[in-house]
Structure 1
Amino acid sequence: MRTYVLVPGSGGNGTIWASVQRELALRGQRSYAVDLPGHGSDARYSRAYQAPQDLMAWAAEPSSMTGVELAENVAHVVEIVRRVAEHGPVVLVGVSLGGVTISGVADQVPELLERIVYLSAWICTSLPSPVAYLAEPEAARSLVGGLGGFAVGAPEGVGRANYRTSDPDLLDALKAATMAEATDEQFLAAVNHLEPDESLAVMTADARVHPDRWGRVPRTYIRLLADRSLPVELQDRLIAEADAATPDNPFTVHDLDTSHMGFVLRAGEVADLLL
């Protein structure tokens, strides 16, 4: 039996995949949701982050994400893939920033992967990092640039976002960027699973793929057509550049008309596409 290894995006942990895992289980499939280093049970929360918040105190506190590099994420998932592959084929799936991790895994152990799947996820070919691509014309419709108001403090090498803010304008901006079609209740439920800290080194590392290794693995891209974080125009550029690098092994492309995080509300369709 194959196993789907599911990698989260920025500020995420394995719980982002819960609805998809339920649907895979109902179809008789096995899956493993990854907590990347510093995330999940290793995430560090502060009393100052709780209500009532003390943002000045929280801004000065250290982070479990300080010093976490992309190579550490890749090594963590490689070890998981090695263990899972002992029991059958592995399909490696990444969403958003998780794309740079699954690309690195495919570069290191292409022989252990049956397929890699990018769910509106970053795949860097001509430019080194997601941050570099966000400065390109295809990113013009992204609303991520308007979310600076979430930033709190500057722990060393870490981006810290206050997802527990009560500021209605900030929350509306985040919803528009990530989950516009959701109800407020659905959106807040999803946001409350996000972790506030993310390593800036992971976002800015040189994540360009190697066609002779990563390019050997069959791959799928699931475009999210209403995505305003990684807009579809940029998704299309990432797909086109990857296909140009390995013309004999192009992406298989599927579409879902949903937002960047809205896929969690369409888990049955995501599971069907993975199958």
Structure 2
Amino acid sequence: MSTLPTFILVHGAFANSFSFAPLQAELGLLGHRSVAVDLPGHGFEATYPAAYQAPQDLGALASEPGSIKGVTLADNAARVIEALERAKRNGPTVLVGHSRGGATITAVGNQRPDLVDRIVYVSAWCPVDLTVGDYYAEPEMADVDPAAFAPAAAGNPAELGLIRTNFRTSDPGVLAAFRHAFAADLTDDEFRTFLNTFQPDESLDAGTTADRAQAATWGRIPRTYVRLAADTSLPPAVQDRMIREADALTPDNPFDVRTLDGSHLRWLVHPKPAAELLADLAAG
């Protein structure tokens, strides 16, 4: 059994395991194992409706069914737990979540702290005092305007049973909003390339009050929060608030806080600093 950990990587909303490929290459070159998990309905399980292809049929896109309908946070946690159970046979594990993936890794930590040697949030949701949805009404999120993406929304989430976003839109205003939120410090080509890795559908369930971090289980796991200093999707102010709330929940096991420069997506497009940071955590 190896003493080096396996990194289990959990993606955010509309993303998939593909976005971790550059980071995994860097980790591999540093001698580390990693597994990027596709949550249910993601990766090759995703639905790309025919109406999403060019030329797009926006009317049909608003009504075509998607495989992610009905997927819950509990389903996401079960998928990650399955990967952790297999990885744990080979040695320690480090569970890493990005963005909405933070809600999933929190749920995993609540259920199976025995499988996780360290839990790492990279500008990820760590719901403690509030649910993920409730944080959007807080002052720290005041500069985040979900309405800017509204023209890219396709269909009624209540009717579709999922959230559908047209990332292949040509609307310059929406593209500018996406870039501001996720990738202001990437080149035009890098931004468009990453946008084309997103899938159109995401599940509705981001967790309830019952899915917030629990001191008795999640709170036992050594934890790190990697702040992204120029993130305008999950601003540093709300990242810092969740760190403070978690530390108040379990003051004897506070976050180890690190900071990387860059936007919400830069660490994945230019992953060398992030890989070195994770390798340092493994060595410690």
Q: Same fold (TM over 0.5)?
A: yes
Q: Which residue of 2 aligns with 1:169?
A: 173
Are 2:155 and 1:153 aligned? Answer: yes
**C-alpha displacement at 1:157, in angstroms?**
2.5
Q: Which moved more, 1:151-160 or 1:6-15?
A: 151-160
Structure 1 residue ranges, 4+ long, deviating more than 6 angstroms after superposition: none
**C-alpha displacement at 1:2, in angstroms?**
1.3
CA distance in 2, matches of 1:255, 1:66: 35
Q: What do residues 22-41 of structure 1 show as CA deviations (whole Å, max 9, x unaligned)?
A: 10001010000010001111
CA distance in 1, matches of 2:42, 2:85: 21
CA distance in 2, matches of 1:242, 1:173: 31
**C-alpha displacement at 1:203, in angstroms?**
5.7
**C-alpha displacement at 1:16, in angstroms?**
1.2
Q: What do residues 82-139 of structure 1 show as CA deviations (whole Å, max 9, x unaligned)?
A: 0110011000000000001001111111111110000000011111x21110110011
- Contact kept, 8 Å, 2:19 with 2:197, in 1: the verdict is yes
Q: Which residue of 1 aligns with 2:267?
A: 263
CA distance in 1, matches of 2:272, 2:110: 30
**C-alpha displacement at 1:13, in angstroms?**
0.4
Are 2:30 and 1:27 aligned? Answer: yes
Q: Alignment partner of 1:173: what SS?
A: helix
Change (3 A) 1:166 1:40: same
Taking the TM superposition and a 5 Å limit, the aligned residue runs for 1:1-275 are 1-127=4-130, 129-154=131-156, 155-202=159-206, 206-275=210-279
**C-alpha displacement at 1:273, in angstroms?**
1.0
Change (3 A) 1:205 1:198: farther
User: Which runs of no fewer than 5 residues in structure 1 stay unpaired?
Assistant: none
Change (3 A) 1:100 1:234: same
**C-alpha displacement at 1:64, in angstroms?**
0.9
Give the TM-score normalised by structure 2. Answer: 0.94
**C-alpha displacement at 1:141, in angstroms?**
2.1
Give the TM-score normalised by structure 1. Answer: 0.97
CA distance in 2, matches of 1:236, 1:244: 12
Q: Which moved more, 1:244-253 or 1:145-154?
A: 145-154
Q: What do residues 224-262 of structure 1 show as CA deviations (whole Å, max 9, x unaligned)?
A: 111111100000000000000000000001111211112
CA distance in 2, matches of 1:167, 1:173: 10
**C-alpha displacement at 1:143, in angstroms?**
4.0
Q: Which residue of 1 aligns with 2:282?
A: none
Q: What do residues 58-93 of structure 1 show as CA deviations (whole Å, max 9, x unaligned)?
A: 111111111001000001111110011001100000
Q: Alignment partner of 2:160: what SS?
A: coil
Change (3 A) 1:264 1:143: farther
CA distance in 2, matches of 1:168, 1:135: 27
Aligned residues: 274
Query: RMSD in angstroms over aligned alpha carbons?
Result: 1.2
**C-alpha displacement at 1:204, in angstroms?**
5.8
Counterpart amino acid of 1:53?
A: Q
Q: Alignment partner of 1:105: what SS?
A: helix
CA distance in 2, matches of 1:57, 1:204: 32
CA distance in 2, matches of 1:95, 1:207: 17
